[in-house]
Amino acid sequence: MHLIALEEHYAWNPASDGNVVATWLESNNRTGFDRLYDRGPLRLEQMDAAGIDFQILSLFDPGVQEYDDAALAVDHARRANDNLAETVRQYPDRFGGFATLATQDPDAAVVELRRAVDDLGLMGALINGHTHGRYLDDPAYGPLFATAEALGVPIYLHPTTPHPAVMDAWFAPYVDQGLHLASWGFAVEAGTHALRLIYSGLFDRYPNLQMILGHLGEMLPFKAFRTDRYYGLGGSGGSGGLLQKRPSEYLRNNFYFTTSGNFSPPAMACTLEVMGADRVMFSVDYPMDDNVDGANFLATYPMDDADRRKVGYENAVRLFGSRIPGFGARA
């Protein structure tokens, strides 16, 4: 069976220079560090070992979004996307790419998304959560989502470190234990961000917009029943007004969830039950997670082969179409 993996990261300097995780890997796990920076033979060897046909690459969190200097972020985003496009041109049958966007400047992000897709052949964009506490439900990002919808490309909403106020209120005593990161805080941050987009009415305004969440939906499938049941409790629906549909309907119509780094059978069962097999896609979260582990999880999860093919590659082919060059012929 073919496999297309969507949340697969790489590091690129100067944007990744000084990154906390990359710095730790360099000192404590040189193999992991080498994998993070490699976009060639080592990565392809790891893909082949797991039977992964195609990776969509994205710049490692937080990319350029941590910069205080918006102009520098815009410049580095453009350079990073040019660099990624060169990798894709070198290995067009194995790699695609999600654009990096300098969300410090929403107007520049629109221009760069269009350039990355139309001129560079990238497949959408990956955004690492909030930018200095500014979330994507800010009306200034409306043109960015309108552009993504018009181009027919998805936005992958990836977690980042929670908002500084949340860090202080919730996580500060337990930073040394990593509560604010992948074990819990990342999912809270990304899941809440996605709900903010839904509650803002974004998908009523842009009904064909498609977004992607990793880690089997950042806990949203587990809470979908209560999210629907208590939507609107406590007010009139907030600044966005009341929605046209239940929140979970936007999840099923406007989101795909990937398996990245969450190789848990109970979590997979919940996600499939809530979303359906047409809305779940394979990912690994390489190199933080292992390609073979991710592929084995999908291969051994108890599901019928038709649904396994949907998750493994068919849903990705349907979403990205010809942007995955030649894959339809091989599928």
Tell me the pLDDT tens digit for each residue of 288-306: 999 999 999 999 999 999 9
State what percent of residues in the chain have pLDDT above 70: 96
Please tell me the pTM assigned to this model: 0.94
| Overall number of domains in the chain | 1
69: pLDDT strictly greater than 90: yes
- Ranking 24-28, 80-84, 148-152, 171-175 by mean pLDDT, the lowest is 24-28
User: Encoding tokens for residue 277?
Assistant: 């097999």
User: Encoding tokens for residue 104?
Assistant: 């410090």
224: pLDDT strictly greater than 80: yes
237: pLDDT strictly greater than 50: no
User: Cα separation of 97 and 247, whole Å?
Assistant: 30
Tens digit of each residue's pLDDT (9 = 90 or more) over 257-278: 999 999 999 999 999 999 999 9
Position 174 scores a pLDDT of 85
Mean of the pLDDT values across residues 68-94? 97
187: pLDDT strictly greater than 60: yes
Mean of the pLDDT values across residues 176-187? 86
Mean of the per-residue pLDDT values for the chain?
A: 93
CATH of residue 229's domain is: 3.20.20.140
Read off the amino acid at residue 10: Y
Looking at 53, 285, 289, 290, which residue is catalytic? 285
Largest interatomic CA distance in the chain: 55
50: pLDDT strictly greater than 60: yes
Position 236 scores a pLDDT of 56
Tens digit of each residue's pLDDT (9 = 90 or more) over 113-157: 999 999 999 999 999 999 999 999 999 999 999 999 999 999 999
The question of whether 307 is a catalytic residue gets the answer no
Domain that holds residue 176: 4-330
Task: Give 134's contacts (C-beta < 8 A, 6+ positions apart).
Answer: 103
Tens digit of each residue's pLDDT (9 = 90 or more) over 3-16: 999 999 999 999 99
Burial class (CB in 10 A: 0-12, 13-18, 19+), 114: middle
